[in-house]
Amino acid sequence: MINSQNFSKFPLGRPLFICAAVLIFAGQPAHGQAPPGSAQSRAELFGRQAYPGPSATPSAETEGYPVTSPSDKDIGEQQILKRVEEYKPFTISIYAPFYWTSNAALVSSGEQDDVFVAPGVTLMYQPRITKTLYAQVGVVQQFFFYDQLTELNFASLDVIAGLLYYLPQFHNLSLRAYYDYNRLTDTDNFDELFVNDSIILNAELPFRIARAQQIFLGLNLNLSFYGNPESPRRNNYSLYGNYDLALSRSFSLDAGFQFVVRDYYSGDRTDVNEILSLSANYRVQEWLTLSALSSFSWNQSNHSVFDYSVANIGGGIALALKF
């Protein structure tokens, strides 16, 4: 489900690509220099969760147990009004997270820290087909601008189309299946760095601990069926969990963990990636959220040249409108 805080969470539903298998043959990258295709990993790590859920989740039934009035009518008559929820299928989100990163190029040695900003915009149309079935069509454009290592700058475009299905009878399980076209370019001439077509399958199960505390557990499969160049092409299989705590109507804390296996098409490379994220979000208005963001990621590969770890600390502002 999209909200103005989503950019602070890990991009669990984003296309997951890794390119660096070519380095198996090319050797270790120079210190501080990004491995070819690391843009995909950085896009994945810092990019916005692009794909919103429906704005209206199935609401719990009110408990009904009629009790006859034991006394008089001193508190008056309560005529029930039925609220008609207006469903708004369009969402536009504009966001600008910024980070200090300890390892800008995601390299195993010779790490260089840097500061970058990742402004982006998401346009999403999510018509309701039935009460629990929604279609999703959307476009996400995001830019990554580095302060010092400007050669790492890149832009990411996603076009998605798919379906989202809720199963209230199964603990509000949500199932998603969509096609994702992803194109990474440089930011000067928008020359293509990488293009990928994939099918993404996702299942997510919410657990409400209390009204202000929720846990989400999810499984995400990102299956690439075309990539150019071929070397960064990969399938991702991930498990994730999120804990949300609303401390007040405006202030919330989020903690997330993601475990991803990245299986590359080219060569025999397989990576295991773990991501821990923490964020604090303050909703200034219904449509405006300020966030303090942090994330930590560890990557282990069967080719040690691709091992890395990175810490990112920053903040962000997000605007989201539904209509």
- Least Å distance between CB 66 and another protein? 4
- Least Å distance between CB 167 and another protein? 20
H or E element: which one contains 203? strand 192-210
- Our CB check for another protein shows the closer of 75 and 130 to be 75
- Our CB check for another protein shows the closer of 59 and 189 to be 59
- Our CB check for another protein shows the closer of 27 and 66 to be 66
- Least Å distance between CB 243 and another protein? 11
- Least Å distance between CB 78 and another protein? 4
Burial label for 248, CB within 10 Å (0-12, 13-18, 19+), is exposed
Cα separation, 173 vs 154, whole angstroms: 35
Cα separation, 200 vs 221, whole angstroms: 6
* Angle CA 289–314–144, to nearest 5: 90
**Nearest-CA neighbor of 108 among 311, 305, 262?**
305
Positions in the binding site for another protein (CB under 8 A): 59-84, 86, 208-213, 245-246, 249
- Least Å distance between CB 89 and another protein? 18
* Helix, strand or coil, per DSSP, at residue 132: coil
- Our CB check for another protein shows the closer of 72 and 188 to be 72
CA 64 to chain centre: 38
- Our CB check for another protein shows the closer of 86 and 188 to be 86
Cα separation, 171 vs 300, whole angstroms: 34
- Least Å distance between CB 46 and another protein? 30
- Our CB check for another protein shows the closer of 25 and 211 to be 211
Cα separation, 14 vs 120, whole angstroms: 14
* Angle CA 304–261–99, to nearest 5: 75
- Our CB check for another protein shows the closer of 75 and 191 to be 75
Q: Supply 67's token pair.
A: 């009790």
**Nearest-CA neighbor of 49 among 295, 323, 298?**
295
- Least Å distance between CB 85 and another protein? 9
